[in-house]
Each structure stands twice: as structure tokens, then as C-alpha cells.
Homo-oligomer: A and B are copies of this chain.
Amino acid sequence: MPFHSKLKIQNSKFCKAYLRSMAQKSLPRIGILGGGQLGRMLLQAAANYPVETFVMENDPECPAAHLCDHFTLGNIKSYDDVLAFGKGLDAITIEIEHVNIEALEQLERDGVKVYPRPEVLKTIKNKILQKQFYVNNSIPTSAFEIVHNRTDVQERSYMLPAVHKLAEGGYDGKGVQLIRTHEDINKAFIGASVLEKMVDIKKEIAVMVAVSATGETALYPPVEMIFDPVLNLLDFQLCPADIPEKILWRAEAIALTVARSFKSPGLFAVEMFIDKNDEVLVNETAPRVHNSGHHTIEAHYSSQFDMLWRILLQYPLGNPHAILPSIMVNLIGEEGFSGPAVYEGLEEVLKIDNAFVHLYGKKETRGGRKMGHVTIIHKEKSDLLHKSNKIKHLLKVKA
């Protein structure tokens, strides 16, 4: 982590970190590891409360850099950087799982509140440990085997068709592949990984659960997701999910069990499959604010971002219920374009009377990059579906 003790500041623009350090501190000091769009939206929500915010990211142009009180240029995967960043903070959270866990463990021993707890991150970051966690806590999840190479897969061909996931390092579709037939076994990953029996998916849903430091919990209604089959990135998301009451209750009970079993304050996005037999199976959990909660900004009383601040600031939990049903459309950089972002169709979308546009301020687009999202709220599902399709076709991020 570079130290700049003699950085020159041109003209009258002050360094905010310096200016604030001149004044007496009394606000809670809360840090966020990662400065992407989730950090950006967290900081938008932070401004409703008295709090001093800190962000560390390795890109000074990241979406969250300018919205915090103190920005630190550093590597969230580095032990030294994370430790130095966290020292003296009251609490620290994450907006991405790929952070240095050992440093967070040390900070926790030093008295910094780490939400979610480092133990949770250890479990979740490794897909083998995560699967074992579900089994150990009697949480339904798809059948799986631990494999390390082609031979391992070959010997477990009874699992096919299967989803093959590297234990560590997978993200947004990377480190994950389908092994449908014996021929596919040739492309098996080398390294510790999970071979999951493919689920015959009817629907994919997610439930966000908030857990306070005192163990209180709050459940957001389930959202129903539709993925882009090519990029494995979320396209649309409907809230509440269109599922029978019996499945709703089951999904809520499972999500609550997952969140409670982690024994940690924080927000948990529990992603689940509903299979053709109406079984509910946990796919994976993110212990943080999540793409599947973006609609809560406008459509719910307490947004996922507001909720996490309440947890971090030791306030009572917020109200997770919906004000109105919603659909969220992810805005993904068009394939074949990279460079300074241009938002084609933005004017038209800004005219839609119940749509809320969020652009993350990323200067550069590239194919598949998350560049923004649009939430539509309305009491009628038909209006939501109509508008979301319209937005999907109108709004393109090109270069």
C-alpha cells in the first residue's frame, strides 16, 4: 500500500481526509472493503445517518471512491493493507467476498466489529466448505462430490449432468462450467472443486435475511430471477416471487436457517432453486448487500443498504416489507463494446413514469460489465413485465 507523505495538492481543492482529520472525531467510524457499485449504494444510504465512512479499493476511480469520508488506495486481498485500513475503525464490512480474511480475523481480535464475521467469509469463499456447511446444518442443497481432476470426475460420472465449480476464485460465471456428458469430462477443472448434480430448475429465487448483533432477524420477501443463459448474469428480477404459499414458507424457513447458522450479524442473500418436484434447494449464499436486493432501494421500506447500516450502527433492524411490487432490470455492458460508456436509449427510459434509473458512474464499459440497474414499481405484475421488457430493449450500454 503506497504511502504519500508529500502529495502536492494543486489549487484550492482540499483533501477531504486531511480536512476531516483536523476536526474532532465523534461519529462511528465504519469501513467498507471494496468500492464497486454496492459500496456506492451503501454510501448513498449512509448519508441518512451520523457515521464517518472509509473505503478501500485498488482503483481511485471506482464507483464508491468519492462518496466516502476517507478513501484508501489499497489491495483488499493484502493482509497488510486490510489490517492497516481496519485499525481504529469501530466496524468493518465488505461488498465483495474476495478479501483478506486473516487480516479481518486479527482486526476482530483487536476489537473491531467485523460484519459478517471472518468465519462466515471462510466458509462462503470456498465452495467445498460452503456445501459442507449446508449439509452440517441440515440445509437442503443439491447432491455433490469433492473432486480435484478428470479422474475424480470420471469416477463420479453417476453425478452427470453436473455443475462443476472451482472451490475458490469463481465469480460471475468464471470458474463454473457444465459437465453434461462423458465427453465434457475432458474439460474438468484441475484443482479442488465441487461437482454438483444438476438441479432440474423450475425457478430460481433469493431471500435476503438481516441479522442484528443482538440476534434479531428480518426477512425480505423472495425475489424471482431470470438469468442470461450466455453470461450467467442476472437480467430481470421480480419481487415478490410468483410462487405458491407453501413454497414461500419453505424458502423463508430455509433462508432463516442459513442466516442463523452462520452465527454472525450481517445481511445474507440466500439464493435457492425450486426444482421440478417443488423441492427448495440452497444454491449459494452471499454474506453482504447483493444484486438481488437492489430493488429494495425504492420498493421497500428499509432498503438492503439501509438495513446493513442499521446492523453496523447497532440500530434496530428496519422494515423489510415491500411498499409496492417491483422488477429490477440489470444494465449490462453490450458485448463487443469497450471504452467510455454511452447509454443508448437513456432519454426514453428516464421518461417512464415509474422507473428508477441507477447508473454506477463507471467510465469504461465492456461486454458483460454491470453498469447500472433500473427498478420499476407498480401494483400490477403486467405493468412491471411490460415496462421491464421495454427497458431491456431500449437501454444499451455501448462505447
A residues engaging B (CB < 8 A)? 1-24, 26-27, 40-41, 43-44, 47-51, 53, 60-61, 65-74, 84-85, 301, 310, 315-316, 318-319, 321, 323-324, 340-341, 343, 346-347, 350-351, 353-354, 356-359, 361, 363, 377
A321 to chain B: closest residue by CB: B353
A48 to chain B: closest residue by CB: B358
Give the Cβ gap from A89 to chain B, nearest Cβ, in Å.
Answer: 13
Q: Are B72 and A350 in contact (CB under 8 A)?
A: no
Docked pose: A167 CA to B66 CA in angstroms: 39
Give the Cβ gap from A366 to chain B, nearest Cβ, in Å.
Answer: 16
Known interface pairs A22-B60, A26-B340; 4 further A-B residue pairs with C-beta atoms within 8 A, sorted by A's residue number: A9-B9, A14-B17, A15-B18, A316-B350
In the complex, the count of this chain's copies comes to 2
Q: Are A71 and B16 in contact (CB under 8 A)?
A: yes
Known: A15-B7, A17-B15. A316 touches B50 (CB 8 A): no
Among A4, A26, A47, A310, chain B packs the most CB atoms within 10 A around the CB of A47
Q: Are B16 and A16 in contact (CB under 8 A)?
A: yes
Give the Cβ gap from A261 to chain B, nearest Cβ, in Å.
Answer: 26
On chain B, the residues within 8 Å of A71 by CB distance are 13-14, 16, 19
A74 to chain B: closest residue by CB: B12
On chain B, the residues within 8 Å of A7 by CB distance are 7-9, 14-15, 18
Could you tell me the dominant secondary structure of chain A's interface residues? Answer: loop
Known: A5-B8, A363-B26. A19 touches B60 (CB 8 A): yes
Give the Cβ gap from A354 to chain B, nearest Cβ, in Å.
Answer: 6
A371 to chain B: closest residue by CB: B50
The one of B24, B69, B321, B347 in contact with A315, judged by C-beta atoms closer than 8 angstroms, is B347
Docked pose: A85 CA to B14 CA in angstroms: 12
Known: A9-B5, A66-B68, A321-B353. A73 touches B21 (CB 8 A): no
The one of B14, B41, B51, B66 in contact with A72, judged by C-beta atoms closer than 8 angstroms, is B14
Known: A53-B66, A324-B323. A12 touches B2 (CB 8 A): yes
On chain B, the residues within 8 Å of A23 by CB distance are 60-61, 363
Q: Are B5 and A10 in contact (CB under 8 A)?
A: yes
Q: Are A13 and B6 in contact (CB under 8 A)?
A: no
Docked pose: A343 CA to B27 CA in angstroms: 12
Known: A53-B66, A72-B13. A354 touches B301 (CB 8 A): yes
A41 to chain B: closest residue by CB: B47
Docked pose: A123 CA to B73 CA in angstroms: 47
The one of B26, B48, B347 in contact with A316, judged by C-beta atoms closer than 8 angstroms, is B347
Give the Cβ gap from A53 to chain B, nearest Cβ, in Å.
Answer: 7
Docked pose: A316 CA to B347 CA in angstroms: 6
On chain B, the residues within 8 Å of A73 by CB distance are 12, 14, 19
Q: Are B4 and A6 in contact (CB under 8 A)?
A: no
